Amino acid sequence: MNGLGGLNKSENGVVMGLVQLQLPVVETPADLAAQVARVVALVGKARRNLGTMDLVVFPEYALHGLSMDINPAIMCRMDGPEVAALKQACIDNAIWGCFSIMEHNPGGMPYNTGLIIDDTGELRLYYRKMHPWVPVEPWEPGDGGIPVCDGPNGSKLALIICHDGMFPEMAREAAYKGAEIMIRTAGYTAPIRQSWRFTNQSNAFCNLMITANVCMCGSDGTFDSMGEGMFVNFDGSIIAHGTTGRADEIITAELRPDLVREARLGWGVENNIYQFGHRGYVAVKGGAQDCPYSYMTDLAAGRYRLPWEDDVRVTDGTGCGFDAPTRIYGETTPEAAE
């Protein structure tokens, strides 16, 4: 199914490249401009590297590094020069691209935003990270849900970011909306290696969905990101895996969304994405289609509360150097309202 990393592309295949991008240090607008130029150059490398490649994926923090700096001078805007350069790179190299920006938010903290841009420079998917990696990350929680877009060669794509993938509900939502390939970009460092691997596999198997996953790579002098570009097939088996930790290596594979569609229609045993909403259909016609899960109904009703809620010790970012927030979700800052 891998087609020798995409060298032999089948009629129904989607060839994807995961860039294990060298972790940068970005502190100034000049640093940001230089890093954008570097990513643009690597889009060109991806095209030269494999003429069959449909989509090249860059990790979370590809432009900004892991400093968690919220300096407005280095935040991106959708109509700014950074996004324009990424769009032009896709046009110039006739390739789709998946990119990461830290996006200025006049109403609060910046958004951690993911973009999928097609080979004509059109924005196909815009996603704001739903689950920032608290207490370490300061980003505003995403407010746009999990979008799905049409991708190359008739595929359906979703994008989640890093810590999102630790919540099985995220992958389930992507699949429920029709995604056949779910991209997961990340900046994770080595302590998360095993969790990264088994969640990428479980997200795929539990939803009959291919997952394509990649982290930043190498050291910035403080942090060590792990690369770990990883394609997982819908049965949970690993298609390709970048285990060397070599920075800027592009891990490639041919993916087959047509076989995802076949499995979702034809599997009986372990068709979990269908069976979740049709419990026990052997016993009762159509299966039970209720919602028996307390955490779901409580969350929907705004009363989600753990039995040990009052004893949770870390509930803000003060331990990581951030001020305790006072603004309620959905409110804007006074500056933004003026």
Helix (H/G/I), strand (E/B), else coil: 125: strand
Q: Given the DSSP bridges, would you call strands 123-128 and 111-117 parallel, antiparallel or unpaired? A: antiparallel
Q: Is the separation of the CB atoms in 114 and 99 below 8 Å?
A: yes
Helix spans in the chain (H): 3-6, 29-49, 81-93, 168-176, 193-205, 257-266, 272-275, 294-300, 334-337
Per-residue buried b or exposed e for 109-125, using 16+ beta carbons within 10 Å of the residue's own CB: bbbbbbbbbbbeeeebb
Give the model confidence (pLDDT) of 25-67 as tens digits. 999 999 999 999 999 999 999 999 999 999 999 999 999 999 9
174 in helix, strand or coil? Answer: helix
* Residue 158 backbone dihedrals phi, psi, to 5 degrees: -130, 160
Q: Which pLDDT does position 332 carry in this prediction?
A: 86
Q: Is the pLDDT of residue 338 over 60?
A: no
Write down the number of H helices and E strands in the chain: 9, 14
Residue 128, beta-bridge partner list: 113
249 is catalytic: no
Nearest to 13 by CA among 70, 56, 52, 64: 52
For residue range 187-233, what is the model confidence (pLDDT) as tens digits?
A: 999 999 999 999 999 999 999 999 999 999 999 999 999 999 999 99
Of these residues, 98, 162, 206, 215, which one is catalytic? 162
| Mean pLDDT, residues 136-146 | 97
What DSSP assignment string belongs to 179-194?
-SEEEEEE--BGGGHH
| Residue where the block lists tokens 């029709």 | 178
The residue from 129, 137, 173, 228 that is catalytic is 129
Cis before 135? omega within 30 = yes
Band (pLDDT 50/70/90 cuts) for residue 244 is confident
Closest CA to 37 of 86, 72, 90: 86
Say if strands 217-219 and 210-215 run parallel, antiparallel, or are unpaired: unpaired
Q: Where are the domains of the chain?
A: 3-275, 294-337
Per the rule left: phi > 0, alpha: psi between -120 and 50, beta: everything else, 68 is left
Q: Is the Cβ–Cβ distance between 6 and 246 less than 8 Å?
A: no
Catalytic residue among 60, 228, 249, 254: 60
Average per-residue pLDDT for the chain = 96
11 among known catalytic residues: no
CATH, domain range 3-275: 3.60.110.10
Spatial separation of the C-alpha atoms in residues 337 and 204, rounded to whole Å? 42
d(CA 254, CA 9): 7
Two tokens, residue 62: 């590809």
pLDDT band of residue 337 (cuts 50, 70, 90) is very low
Tokens representing 318?
């003060």
Closest listed residue to residue 123, CA positions, set 93, 147, 153:
147
Residue 162 among the catalytic residues: yes
Q: Could you tell me whether strands 230-232 and 14-19 are parallel, antiparallel, or unpaired per DSSP bridges?
A: unpaired
pLDDT per residue as tens digits for the range 35-46: 999 999 999 999
Q: What percent of the chain has pLDDT over 90?
A: 94
Q: Phi, psi at residue 298, to the nearest 5°?
A: -65, -40
pTM of the prediction? 0.97
Residue 1 has pLDDT above 60, yes or no: no
